[in-house]
Amino acid sequence: MLKVKNLHASVGDKEILRGINLEVHAGEVHAIMGPNGSGKSTLASVLAGNEKFTVTEGEVEFMGQNLLDLSIENRARMGLFLGFQYPVEIPGVTMANFMKMAVNEQRKFRGEEPLTAGEFLRMMREKSAVVELDSKLTSRAVNEGFSGGEKKKNEIFQMAMLDPKLAVLDETDSGLDIDALRVVATGVTKLHTPENATVVITHYQRLLDYIVPDFVHVLYHGRIIYSGDKSLALKLEKEGYDWLINEYDK
């Protein structure tokens, strides 16, 4: 589904990604961990097409297409979803209106008819239940006045609405209390199927108690320096990154 080969990216003259290699197949869950400033969020942004970053080298294939040639919106329409670390507010635009546009853009891209108002409302109700999102929030403006927890739930709600092939969740667990974490993580798990894949970026093992990864990668200094299975996350939780970094720096 996703093949990243020797990906380099920079912001200004500063190189942040220095040769990422990563392969994600349908049905898999990958966790990306690593110390602050290692390039985790940059990787998510570059995959989504954020124009702040320049790809200087490497290739990315998504669903058999050259991802780097596609616009931000076409990546999204093809089924790439980014759960933002800091979801932005859009004053005056209701969630319902925003999602209706997003869902119908995707349908148009696939050559499908737009949903009727009734179909859409039913879908909203169904999907907001996945993350126990208060249905009143959908009539409020996008993220405006949402609490930290509500914002993150709202990201997963949007993921449920758009049913992506590949979801990249950028620190979806940050700033959540234990209950909200459980709701968000359970939501992500519910959405997981053999046909789709999830990449979760996180600092903490606790998220991985709910979302059990098939692979755990450690990102450091713009490269994946170590990959393992879910036990790696537990080890990192106990021992930190130093043992890996020391080895790598040698």
Partner 1 sequence: MAEKEIIDTIEGEYKYGFTTDIETETIARGLNEDVIRLISAKKEEPEWMLERRLKAFRHWQQMPLPEWAHLNIPEIDFQDIIYYAAPKQVKKLGSMDEVDPELKRTFDKLGIPLEEQMALAGVAVDAVMDSVSVKTTFRETLAEKGIIFCSISEAIREYPELIQKYLGTVVPYTDNYYAALNAAVFSDGSFCYIPKGVRCPMELSTYFRINAENTGQFERTLLVADEGAYVSYLEGCTAPRRDENQLHAAVVEIIVERDAEVKYSTVQNWYPGDKEGKGGIYNFVTKRGLCREGARLSWTQVETGSAITWKYPSCVLLGDNSVGEFYSVAMTNNYQQADTGTKMIHIGRNTRSRIVSKGISAGKSQNAYRGLVRVAKGAENARNYSQCDSLLIGDKCGAHTFPVIDTRNSSAVVEHEATTSKISEEQLMYCRQRGLSTEDAVGLIVNGYAREVLAKLPMEFAVEAQKLLAINLEGSVG
- 114 near partner 1, rule: CB under 8 A: no
Structure tokens at 215: 């692979």
Structure tokens at 220: 């450091």
- 63 near partner 1, rule: CB under 8 A: no
d(CA 248, CA 100): 47
- 106 near partner 1, rule: CB under 8 A: yes
Identity of the residue numbered 189: T
Which among 67, 77, 82 has a CA at the least distance from the CA of 105?
A: 77
Provide the minimum distance between the beta carbon of 206 and partner 1 in the complex, in angstroms, as a whole number. 26
Map residues 120-159 to x or -, x wherever contact with partner 1 holds by CB under 8 A: ---------------------xx---------------x-
Judged by CB under 8 A, the residue of 10, 21, 50, 186 near partner 1 is: 50
Q: Is 249 exposed, middle or buried (0-12, 13-18, 19+ CB in 10 A)?
A: exposed
Judged by CB under 8 A, the residue of 105, 132, 163, 209 near partner 1 is: 105
**Three-class SS state of 186:** helix
Nearer to partner 1, 162 or 200 (CB): 162
C-alpha torsion sign, points 6, 29, 181, 225: negative
HSE-up (13 A, CA, CB side) for residue 219: 27
Nearer to partner 1, 130 or 245 (CB): 130
Map residues 78-97 to x or -, x wherever contact with partner 1 holds by CB under 8 A: ---xx-x-xxx-xxxx---x
Total site size for partner 1, rule CB under 8 A: 33
d(CA 212, CA 105): 32
Map residues 156-185 to x or -, x wherever contact with partner 1 holds by CB under 8 A: --x---x-----------------------
- 71 near partner 1, rule: CB under 8 A: yes
Neighbours of 240 (CB within 10 A): 11
In DSSP terms, which residues pair with 228 in a beta bridge?
A: 216
Residue numbers of the site for partner 1 (CB under 8 A)?
48-52, 71-73, 75-77, 81-82, 84, 86-88, 90-93, 97-99, 101-102, 105-106, 109, 141-142, 158, 162
